[in-house]
Amino acid sequence: MLDDFMMRATLAGIGVAFAAAPLGSFVVWRRMAYFGDATAHAAILGVALSLALSTSIFVGAVAVALVMALTVSALSGRGYAMDTLLGVMAHSALAFGLVAVSFLSGVRIDLMAYLFGDILAVSRGDLGVIWGGAALVVMLIAWRWQRLLTSTLNEDLAYSCGIDPKREKLALTLSLAITVAVAIKVVGVLLIAALLIIPAAAARPLSRTPEGMAITATLIGAASAVIGLRTAYVFDTPAGPTIVCIAALCFVTASIWGGIRHLV
């Protein structure tokens, strides 16, 4: 069954959706959308470094994304607004990454594959990494769920319950770095943030509880991956962007549905 490249691609897309949707819900609730984007852009530098050092791309991407996320967290509130800081970090990391890749002679690198993903080329090994990483993220978020949610609602409330919001933020940052690294192959660094945010945003008008929103987002993400791949196959369009397009259509439909329900 795993011999079929379409099957592997579908499983890869679903795997990423499983990690991205619950994490994406927190990204939406905490208004970290740009933070997700910045972490993803930084990952291209990780890709370049791991190609230069001949290590696993997953490890390189996680490491650089994590360093990037931690640096931004540490520097925020020290004279620069968060969005300025993220803008500086994200685009310089992307630029340095692209320049670094150009230095790698002897290795023929399809840069497009890392910018926009190459889900149809997912190998069995990639699939293992994607599902392993996704399982790690889902378990981490499920384990910290109550504490993450309390910290997201109000930090002082969290402190009064004996929860350290800074530690919970670290858990989210770590999850974000892992998700970015596993999603590179599927949608590429430029579209990872879309996979985080769009399913969660589409799930919002359909949900009454945080858990409901995370589960609905997961379903929307997974459905977008399956339908997007099928559509890409039929119309011969790039797979990663097609998945994002389907997710965006889900968002539009859900918003209209939410609006109508609100009016009636």
Partner 1 sequence: MSLIRVEHLGVSYGAHQALHNVGLTVEPNEIVTVVGPNGSGKTSLLRAIVGAIPLTAGTVDKKPDLRIGYVPQRLHVDPTLPITVERFLRLPNGVDKQTLDTALERAGVPDIASRQMSQLSGGQLQRVLLARALANGPDLLLLDEPTQGLDQQASAAFYRLIEKVRRETECSVLMISHELHVVMAASDRVICLNGHVCCQGSPDIVSSAPEYRALFGSGTGGALALYRHEHDHSHDGDCDHDHSPKEAAE
Q: Which residues bind partner 1 (CB under 8 A)?
A: 28-29, 31, 146-147, 149-150, 152-163, 201, 204, 207-213
Q: Which two tokens stand for residue 36?
A: 């997700």
Contacts for 66 with CB less than 8 Å, ≥ 6 apart: 173, 174, 177
Question: Which lies closer to partner 1 via its Cβ, residue 207 or residue 218?
Answer: 207
CB 244 within 8 A of CB 192: no
For the CB of residue 160, give the shortest distance to partner 1 in the complex, in Å: 3
Closest to partner 1 by CB, 29 vs 233, is 29
Q: How far is the CB of 78 from partner 1 (least distance, A)?
A: 11
By beta-carbon proximity to partner 1, the closer residue of 87 and 210 is 210
Secondary element (H or E) of residue 218: helix 210-235
Torsion of CA 223, 224, 229, 231, to 10 degrees: 100
Q: How far is the CB of 211 from partner 1 (least distance, A)?
A: 8
User: How far is 232 from 121, CA to CA, in rounded Å?
Assistant: 14
d(CA 61, CA 41): 10
Smallest gap from residue 170 Cβ to partner 1 (A): 17
Nearer CB in complex with partner 1: 163/232: 163
